[in-house]
Amino acid sequence: MARAAESASDLDYVGGVEVGDDLHAFLESKRPHVLIDFTHPSAALGNALHAVKHGASPVVGTTGIPAEGIDELERACGEAGLGGIVAPNFSVGAVLMMHLAELAAPFFPAVEVIEMHHATKADAPSGTALATARRLAARRKFEHSTPERVTLANTRGGEEGAVAVHSVRLPGVVADQEVIFGLTGQTLTIAHRTTSREAFVPGVLLAVRRVVGEPRFYRALDELLGLRA
């Protein structure tokens, strides 16, 4: 992180890009149309609200923001006449994974979600995994098996609407997720693998173009892809 920027001109440059840690000074001097935030849940909401005050549409990929915080941001964007988006995942492939899982859900009585991220990820489960579980639970009532004896606590993962969610945190992983459905004599796995953070770029660019072009607030990338109303 660069040193604090005491004024609009007090910024460091890395690879020809201005770098600083005074968001107010940057927004005041540059007046951007969009603020893209992939930071930390403790800072993301404040950053986004600050951007709206300066006329910048927020594009937020930081997960872990409370639902009431997203509601507050939507209200702020509406009052300012700005577009905005808070999405649990900006990867097109991940969004399609969730959509396909929703299509499969009515045909299977049981399902579990396994998500894997880098070891420094701040939240668990991931926003994508939690959103997936909630969307699947809305499609049907699933069965969640409980063993007679648990010799290690939390082995069966967390549970959201009878959908078990397991989080893996390891160095070397970017962002992977599997949705595993079970039916007598068979399983169906819908998986998405991320090999680099470049996977998020197409979705972010799509979001930037959209929120600048219309004063609408989005809560997921699939709305921009026409997969949800």
Task: State yes or no: is 99 an active-site residue.
Answer: no
Query: What's the CA gap between 48 and 85, in Å, rounded?
Result: 10
Segment of 25-29, 113-117, 121-125 carrying the highest mean pLDDT: 113-117
User: Which helix (H) or strand (E) element contains residue 168?
Assistant: strand 163-169
Task: State yes or no: is 141 an active-site residue.
Answer: no
Residues 188-207: what's their mean pLDDT? 96
* Residue of 117, 118, 144, 192 with catalytic role: 117
User: Which helix (H) or strand (E) element contains residue 28?
Assistant: helix 23-30
Domain annotation for the chain: domains and CATH numbers: 31-89+198-224 (3.40.50.720), 92-193 (3.30.360.10)
pLDDT at 9: 44
Residues 203-224: what's their mean pLDDT? 94
pLDDT at 1: 31
- Is the predicted pLDDT of residue 156 greater than 90, yes or no? yes
- Is the predicted pLDDT of residue 15 greater than 80, yes or no? no
CA distances from 155 to 44, 114, 116, 134, 150 (A): 32, 12, 16, 20, 8
pTM above 0.85, yes or no: no
* CA-closest candidate to residue 93, choices 191, 174, 218: 191
Confidence of residue 228 (pLDDT cuts 50, 70, 90): confident
Peptide bond into 125 cis (omega under 30): yes
Residues 205-214: what's their mean pLDDT? 95
Cβ-based neighbour number of residue 181 at 10 Å: 20
Averaged pLDDT score across all residues of the chain: 91
* Residue of 50, 54, 99, 121 with catalytic role: 121
Query: What's the CA gap between 211 and 83, in Å, rounded?
Result: 4
Residues 155-175: what's their mean pLDDT? 95
Confidence of residue 119 (pLDDT cuts 50, 70, 90): very high
